[in-house]
A and B are shown apart, each in its own frame.
Chain A
Amino acid sequence: MQHGKYRFIAGFLIVPLVIYAVFVISPFVQAIYYSLTDWTGLSPNLRMVGFDNYVRLFHDSVFWAAVGNSVTLLLLLPVVTLSLGLFFAFMLNVGGRRRKKAVIGGVRGSGVYKIIYFFPQVLSVPIVALLFQFAYNPESGALNSFLGAIGLDGVQPDWLGDPQLALWCVMGAMVWANVGFYVVLFSAGMSSIPKDFYEAALLDGANRVNTFFRITLPLLWDTVQTGWIYMGILALDVSAFAFVQIMSVGPGGPDYSTEVLPLYVYQRTFRDGQAGYATAIGVSLLIVTLVFSAVVMRLGRRERLEF
């Protein structure tokens, strides 16, 4: 029966495989092809130019600025978002004061917090970005008004207008928008961890920090890893594009301090009419993404715990 096993399986998968080939594989092959042409995006006439686009890319300082910012987002955004998500989820489920009858429980009012944390997830990305843009408005926004109200009239940053701060401002909005989802995701994961583990730990005199690092985190590792990959994609891709495009100066500024790869792809295609060059940037974005996923998969490999 071993003979022809794969053909048998493929027979069942033929439809999804074809769909995958048409909508995922073929765009890739095409994209690599277009990255070797001088396609403008505005006319069907195009010419092969070999690796010219990649050579130009190598000498393009804006491209390197975009790579730098995208990688910064890629490294920091998952760490910050997931740490916050884990912390909140832990506090909501396990971190509360010990009460009678229950072995573990969340802080007081955890049900309400859970809803509040999830709230940003209900809003669409452009709305969140716009809200934050209003808050960052240096002239009448919430942040500077608050600073003024508590007597810090002298400290009135330009927020998005300041190249030192702009990327952090965008990142702040992205964390705010995403953390709630992970609180809920991790809460769900934590509720499937058997209570007796916690009970045993408590009997041994473990405090909250120990419980978190010795029990919760290891048993939640798979979920964290999944979240890590999703967050990484978000940092590299559509979400970063939307936030930067809506919020930043320019967009992409000031002085390229918030330029990210997907935005640069967009600008080169839709503003400059250089779709071929933009596709080359897209291919480099693909490489960054692949490296990221390979690293995460490798680092995250751990022995499975059965419970």
Chain B
Amino acid sequence: MGSTSEFNRRDLVKRAAALGIVALPAMSLLSACASSGGGGGDKAAKGTKSAKNPLAVNDSAGLDVVIFDGGFGDAYAKNALAEYTKEFPKAAGKAKLTSTQKIQSTLQPRFNGGNPPDLVDNSGAEQMDFGTLVSKDQLTDLNALLDAPSIDDPSKKVRETLRPGVVEMGQFGGKETWILYYAYTVYGVWYSRGNLAKLDAEYPETWDDMLALCAKAKKKGIAGWTYPGKYPYYFPFSLYPFIGKIGGPEVLRRIDNLEPNAWHDPAVKAAFEAYYELYRKGYILKGSPGLDHLQSQNAWAEGKALFIPNGSWVENESAKQIAQDPHFQLAVGAPSSLSAADKMPFGTLWASGGEPYIVPKEAHNAEGGMELLRVMLGRKAAQNFIKQVSSLTSLDGGTDGVQLPPGLESAQSVLEKAGKNVLNPRLQDWYVALQKEKIGVGAIGEMMAGRMTPDEAIKKIQKYADDTRADSSVTKYKR
């Protein structure tokens, strides 16, 4: 006891801690990335162009593909890669596919270092910002692929085989197409036909019927709606097309263009007030503001709530929970009509591309990356995707001869019913921070939790939109 060496040791620990303070802050993580030079330019020689190889892929060059491993998994891409190597047997050993949920942290050093992969599924929470990639000239123009003949029918260009709107979504105001969305997502109000049948109801086509059905459910102790309160930006999946339905596509276009007072349109107010009514009358599952997407989907799949705003990936994501109830019969509904004065008919909905694929500009084998996309946009790969993950692809068709699961079947039929009335608001891919964190969490989430009135929410959103417009560091887009 009482030797002084005890103190010396403690002293040392203390000093080490003080030094540690200087070493730890997160900033030091960042700076390591940029300095590793940007040489690049190391490209594979082009192959010979032929009818079978319209993109002139070098048949012995390696191929490096990075896939986002999310709701759709990566098996579909692996199968497509197998097709590719069947086509180019010499590349077989050199074609590799990596899948990750951390797209940006995996790829950022490679973009900075000038050796990015040849094809990337830039999706998920760590999606790299498209505006930045495009404005810094990091992507390959995919028009070469779009103008190449389709793999099934050489007389048709790839461009002509895609669903409407897919090509436009990949453009950023110019002729170049930077992104190809592979999946095709139908957004809307998802429900169980079985659970509605228990209440002797069908999907309500008008908002009054919606409220009446919620009232009926409430009497039986079932909530009308639930939503992932941790990610309230799920609400727009049914709310934005609802706004578009009430006020016409022009309202959404002005919102996308960040025009002044775009949010003060009467259609926005009407839609917000209708949704707020759900909260005010107690039709929202208690506790929803604290749930994440899986928890809310579980509660909904267990029949605790009838409706959930979501996209067509929900069928795959919640497959296990839905399968618990053999009478569930998953289906999707377009936004209900608020009144007869709505500018668009019932059936108008939001559908657009998902899973954005990009070919980096500095890719070693950009032609190979595009060729793999061409393979994926063939009927065989598309059908494989539909079967595996029950989602539609950007390839128009491909569903015939495939036994579709109930949710996808329903998505397919509402899409047919919508015909030309498909809306495609772009906030979520143009201004991610504005859409998710500001409008989603900061305003819609607050409103649906009852902490803000529709008027306050709209005012706040308009201010967010104005701030984004004034922020010179954010790249702006117009449509």
Contact = CB atoms under 8 A, between A and B. Distances in A.
B441 A139 contact: no
A46 interface: yes
B279 interface: no
B136 interface: yes
Contacts of A160: 230, 290
Nearest to B107: A42
Given A241-B26, A249-B445, A139 B17 contact: no
B114 interface: yes
B324 interface: no
A56 to B, nearest CB: 7
B212 interface: no
Interface string B1-45: 110101100110110011011111111101111110110000000
Interface stretch (B82-90, B125-133, B181-189, B262-270): B125-133
Given A24-B23, A304-B7, A229 B445 contact: no
A43 B136 contact: yes
Interface residues of A, number: 80
Which of A139, A253, A293 has the most chain B CB atoms inside 10 A of its CB?
A: A139
B30 A279 contact: yes
Given A137-B295, A139-B286, A282 B25 contact: yes
Contact of B111 (A27, A43, A253): A43
A31 interface: yes
Interface string A218-252: 00001101100110110011100100000011101
Contact of B129 (A161, A253, A262, A272): A272
A216 interface: no
A194 B113 CA distance: 59
B132 A273 contact: yes
A249 B1 contact: no
Given A44-B37, A249-B230, A297-B18, A158 B24 contact: no
A223 B449 CA distance: 45
A307 interface: yes
B104 interface: yes
B312 interface: no
A136 B229 CA distance: 13
Contact of B229 (A33, A161, A226, A274): A161
Interface residue range, chain B: 35 or more
B286 to A, nearest CB: 6
Given A229-B18, A265-B26, A285-B25, A27 B433 contact: no
A307 B1 contact: yes
B285 A139 contact: yes
B261 interface: no
Nearest to B436: A250
B280 interface: no
Contacts of A194: 1-2
Contact of A138 (B6, B128, B291): B291
A39 B17 CA distance: 32
A121 interface: no
A293 B18 contact: yes
B12 to A, nearest CB: 10
B463 to A, nearest CB: 10
B24 A42 contact: no
Contacts of A24: 22-23, 28
Interface string B227-267: 00111100000000000000000000000000000000000
Nearest to B40: A44
B287 A230 contact: no
A289 interface: yes
Interface in A256-282: 256, 261-262, 265-267, 269-275, 277-279, 282
Interface string A278-305: 1100110110011011000100000010
Contacts of B424: none
Nearest to A41: B108
Nearest to B296: A139
Given A144-B287, A230-B17, A253-B445, A279 B31 contact: yes
A140 B294 CA distance: 13
A131 to B, nearest CB: 14
B286 A42 contact: no
A38 B473 contact: yes
Main secondary structure of the interface of A (DSSP, over half): helix
A139 B26 contact: no
B446 A39 contact: no
B129 A42 contact: yes
Nearest to A35: B27
Contact of A226 (B13, B232, B437, B473): B13
A51 interface: no
Contacts of A136: 290
A277 to B, nearest CB: 7
B222 interface: no
A139 B31 contact: no
Interface in A183-200: 192, 194
B378 interface: no
B28 A31 contact: yes
B432 interface: yes
B95 interface: no
Nearest to B109: A41
Given A158-B289, A307-B1, A40 B132 contact: yes
A269 B195 CA distance: 44
B44 to A, nearest CB: 21
B201 to A, nearest CB: 23
B30 A254 contact: no
Contacts of A293: 18, 21
B287 A139 contact: yes
B138 interface: yes
Contact of A225 (B14, B114, B137, B437): B14
Given A27-B31, A282-B25, A256 B18 contact: no
Given A222-B7, A253-B445, A278 B30 contact: yes
A158 B287 contact: yes
A161 B291 CA distance: 8
A28 B136 contact: no
A204 interface: no
Given A43-B132, A261-B26, 16 more contacts: A28-B28, A34-B30, A44-B113, A158-B290, A160-B230, A161-B230, A161-B291, A162-B449, A226-B13, A249-B230, A252-B437, A255-B451, A271-B129, A274-B132, A286-B27, A290-B21
Interface of A: 24, 27-28, 30-31, 33-34, 38-46, 56, 133, 136-140, 144, 156, 158-163, 192, 194, 222-223, 225-226, 229-230, 232-233, 236-238, 241, 248-250, 252-256, 261-262, 265-267, 269-275, 277-279, 282-283, 285-286, 289-290, 292-293, 297, 304, 306-307
13 contacts: A41-B132, A42-B108, A137-B295, A139-B287, A156-B287, A229-B18, A249-B290, A253-B437, A262-B25, A266-B26, A270-B108, A293-B18, A307-B1
Interface of B: 1-2, 4, 6-7, 10-11, 13-14, 17-18, 20-28, 30-35, 37-38, 104-105, 108, 111-114, 126-129, 131-133, 136-138, 229-232, 285-292, 295, 299, 304, 432-433, 436-437, 441-442, 445-446, 449, 451, 473
